[in-house]
Protein backbone atom coordinates (compact mmCIF):
# COMPACT_ATOMS: atom_id res chain seq x y z
CA UNK A 1 0.00 0.00 0.00
CA UNK A 2 1.26 3.46 -0.77
CA UNK A 3 0.57 6.54 1.37
CA UNK A 4 -2.42 7.64 -0.72
CA UNK A 5 -4.04 4.21 -0.40
CA UNK A 6 -3.44 4.22 3.35
CA UNK A 7 -4.94 7.69 3.73
CA UNK A 8 -8.03 6.64 1.74
CA UNK A 9 -8.43 3.54 3.91
CA UNK A 10 -8.07 5.64 7.07
CA UNK A 11 -10.84 7.96 5.91
CA UNK A 12 -13.14 5.03 5.01
CA UNK A 13 -12.50 3.29 8.36
CA UNK A 14 -12.80 6.54 10.36
CA UNK A 15 -16.23 7.16 8.87
CA UNK A 16 -17.37 3.55 9.29
CA UNK A 17 -16.00 3.03 12.81
CA UNK A 18 -16.48 6.45 14.41
CA UNK A 19 -18.54 8.55 11.99
CA UNK A 20 -15.58 10.94 11.60
CA UNK A 21 -15.34 12.73 8.26
CA UNK A 22 -12.98 15.63 9.09
CA UNK A 23 -9.60 14.16 9.98
CA UNK A 24 -5.98 14.98 9.33
CA UNK A 25 -3.81 12.03 8.34
CA UNK A 26 -0.04 12.44 8.63
CA UNK A 27 3.01 10.25 8.16
CA UNK A 28 5.90 11.17 10.44
CA UNK A 29 9.62 10.48 10.41
CA UNK A 30 9.82 11.84 13.97
CA UNK A 31 7.82 9.06 15.62
CA UNK A 32 10.20 6.60 17.23
CA UNK A 33 8.19 4.85 19.96
CA UNK A 34 4.74 4.50 18.40
CA UNK A 35 3.29 3.03 15.27
CA UNK A 36 0.29 5.32 15.39
CA UNK A 37 -1.10 8.20 17.45
CA UNK A 38 -4.61 9.61 17.62
CA UNK A 39 -4.40 13.34 18.38
CA UNK A 40 -7.17 15.18 20.24
CA UNK A 41 -7.51 18.64 21.69
CA UNK A 42 -8.78 18.56 25.27
CA UNK A 43 -11.65 20.94 24.51
CA UNK A 44 -12.50 19.46 21.12
CA UNK A 45 -15.53 17.27 20.66
CA UNK A 46 -13.89 15.41 17.79
CA UNK A 47 -10.39 14.14 17.01
CA UNK A 48 -7.93 16.30 15.15
CA UNK A 49 -5.74 13.78 13.32
CA UNK A 50 -4.06 10.41 13.19
CA UNK A 51 -0.30 10.24 12.73
CA UNK A 52 1.55 7.16 11.57
CA UNK A 53 5.19 6.16 12.04
CA UNK A 54 6.56 6.39 8.52
CA UNK A 55 9.29 3.84 9.17
CA UNK A 56 6.74 1.28 10.39
CA UNK A 57 4.51 2.01 7.39
CA UNK A 58 7.45 1.59 5.00
CA UNK A 59 8.49 -1.69 6.63
CA UNK A 60 4.95 -3.04 6.21
CA UNK A 61 3.87 -1.42 2.94
CA UNK A 62 3.53 -4.85 1.32
CA UNK A 63 1.44 -6.26 4.15
CA UNK A 64 -2.05 -4.73 3.98
CA UNK A 65 -3.27 -6.85 6.90
CA UNK A 66 -0.79 -5.31 9.35
CA UNK A 67 -1.53 -1.79 8.11
CA UNK A 68 -5.28 -2.36 8.24
CA UNK A 69 -5.00 -3.61 11.84
CA UNK A 70 -3.09 -0.48 12.84
CA UNK A 71 -5.60 1.76 11.06
CA UNK A 72 -8.58 0.06 12.73
CA UNK A 73 -6.91 0.34 16.16
CA UNK A 74 -6.36 4.07 15.72
CA UNK A 75 -9.86 4.59 14.30
CA UNK A 76 -11.40 2.97 17.38
CA UNK A 77 -9.63 5.73 19.37
CA UNK A 78 -11.69 8.21 17.33
CA UNK A 79 -14.88 7.09 19.04
CA UNK A 80 -15.70 9.43 21.95
CA UNK A 81 -14.96 7.61 25.21
CA UNK A 82 -12.51 5.20 23.55
CA UNK A 83 -9.38 7.33 23.74
CA UNK A 84 -7.92 5.08 26.46
CA UNK A 85 -7.21 1.38 26.39
CA UNK A 86 -9.80 -0.38 28.50
CA UNK A 87 -11.94 -3.50 28.41
CA UNK A 88 -14.50 -1.47 26.47
CA UNK A 89 -11.79 -0.45 23.96
CA UNK A 90 -10.57 -4.06 23.63
CA UNK A 91 -14.10 -5.27 22.94
CA UNK A 92 -14.68 -2.60 20.30
CA UNK A 93 -11.41 -3.47 18.51
CA UNK A 94 -12.47 -7.11 18.41
CA UNK A 95 -15.88 -6.10 17.02
CA UNK A 96 -13.98 -4.63 14.08
CA UNK A 97 -11.83 -7.76 13.70
CA UNK A 98 -8.52 -6.77 15.30
CA UNK A 99 -6.69 -7.59 18.48
CA UNK A 100 -6.27 -4.36 20.45
CA UNK A 101 -2.58 -4.53 21.38
CA UNK A 102 -0.80 -6.33 18.64
CA UNK A 103 -0.78 -7.63 15.19
CA UNK A 104 -1.74 -10.93 13.68
CA UNK A 105 1.88 -11.20 12.61
CA UNK A 106 4.55 -11.81 15.28
CA UNK A 107 7.38 -9.28 15.32
CA UNK A 108 10.68 -9.98 17.02
CA UNK A 109 11.97 -7.24 19.31
CA UNK A 110 9.08 -4.90 18.47
CA UNK A 111 6.36 -4.16 20.97
CA UNK A 112 3.39 -2.36 19.44
CA UNK A 113 2.81 0.94 21.19
CA UNK A 114 -0.25 3.07 20.70
CA UNK A 115 -1.30 6.27 22.35
CA UNK A 116 -3.72 9.14 22.15
CA UNK A 117 -2.08 12.55 22.55
CA UNK A 118 -3.61 15.89 23.52
CA UNK A 119 -1.90 18.78 21.72
CA UNK A 120 -3.42 21.31 24.11
CA UNK A 121 -2.15 19.87 27.42
CA UNK A 122 0.74 17.84 25.91
CA UNK A 123 -0.31 14.70 27.74
CA UNK A 124 -0.44 11.19 26.38
CA UNK A 125 -3.83 9.71 27.15
CA UNK A 126 -2.65 6.10 27.02
CA UNK A 127 0.50 4.13 26.40
CA UNK A 128 0.78 0.38 26.42
For 16-74, the pLDDT digits (tens) are: 999 988 899 999 999 877 888 888 765 666 568 999 999 889 888 888 888 998 999 99
DSSP one-letter code for 73 = H
Q: Domain locations in the chain?
A: 3-124
> To the nearest whole number, what is the mean pLDDT of the chain?
79
Residue 113 forms beta bridges with which residues? none
Q: How confident is the model at residue 115 (pLDDT cuts 50, 70, 90)?
A: very low
Report the chain's C-alpha Rg in angstroms.
13
Higher pLDDT, 128 or 31: 31
- Global pTM reads 0.77
Q: Rounded to the nearest 10 degrees, how much is the dihedral formed by the CA atoms of 60, 94, 5, 9?
A: -160
According to the CATH classification, is domain 3-124 in 3.30.1330.30?
no
5-8: long-range contacts, CB 8 A cutoff, minimum separation 24: 6/52, 6/57, 6/67, 6/71
Alpha carbons 42 and 120: distance in angstroms, whole number: 6
Q: How confident is the model at residue 76 (pLDDT cuts 50, 70, 90)?
A: very high
pLDDT value at position 121?
Answer: 54
pLDDT for residue 122 is more than 90:
no
Residue 124 forms beta bridges with which residues? 117
Alpha carbons 84 and 97: distance in angstroms, whole number: 19
Amino acid sequence: MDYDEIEKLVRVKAKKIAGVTKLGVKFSNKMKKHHGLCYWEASAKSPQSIHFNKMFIDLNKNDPQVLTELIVHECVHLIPGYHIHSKKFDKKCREFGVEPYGYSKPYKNIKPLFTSYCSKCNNCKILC
